[in-house]
Structure formats: structure tokens, C-alpha cells
Amino acid sequence: MLDRLDMVRAWSLGRDAGLREGNADMALVVDLDDADAFRRYSADAGHQQILNELILPACTRTGAQFFARGNPGFPREPPP
């Protein structure tokens, strides 16, 4: 799937290091250029299929979107 998602610049998947109780077991970080790329990635049918058929039935999902340093969107005003 990632081969056809041209908006994905990089991705990283890793298990929790176990340094704090209550953390998630693992995390996936997907590096995208901007909010529009996130919207296209999020709406992609293949992404939705994997999320709905593999991820959500097997675990709890918590999402967060942020602008990393060096991204034109950083820093930004906090939401109202």
C-alpha cells in the first residue's frame, strides 16, 4: 500500500520502550508534508481498509497529528 501512497515521505513503527506504565504497546508515525497530504492519506481506501479490518478489531487506536520542527506549519497557534 505504501508504494502507491505518494504523500507518505517516511514512516516508522516501533514497540514501546517500557519506560512508563500505561503507555501504548506500539506506535506508528507517518511523515507527511502538510495537512492536505494528511487528509488524502486518511481518506485513502486502502488505508481505511487496513484500519477497519486489521487495526481496529485487534487493538485500541489513539491518533495525534502534529507539525514537526522544520515543517512550514510549525509552530502554529493552539486550537481555539
What pLDDT is stored for residue 45 in this prediction? 92
Mark residue 64 as left, alpha or beta (left: phi above 0; alpha: psi -120 to 50; beta: remaining).
beta
Q: What is the pTM of this model?
A: 0.72
- Helix or strand (DSSP H, E) at 29: strand 26-32
pLDDT for 66-75, tens place per residue?
887 666 665 5
Cα(32)–Cα(8) distance, rounded to whole angstroms? 5
| Residue 23 C-alpha from the chain's centroid | 17
- Average pLDDT by consecutive 10-residue portion of the chain (80 residues)? 83 93 90 89 91 89 80 58
Residues with Cβ within 8 Å of 24's Cβ and at least 6 positions away in sequence, in order, are 16, 60, 62
What pLDDT was estimated at residue 34? 86
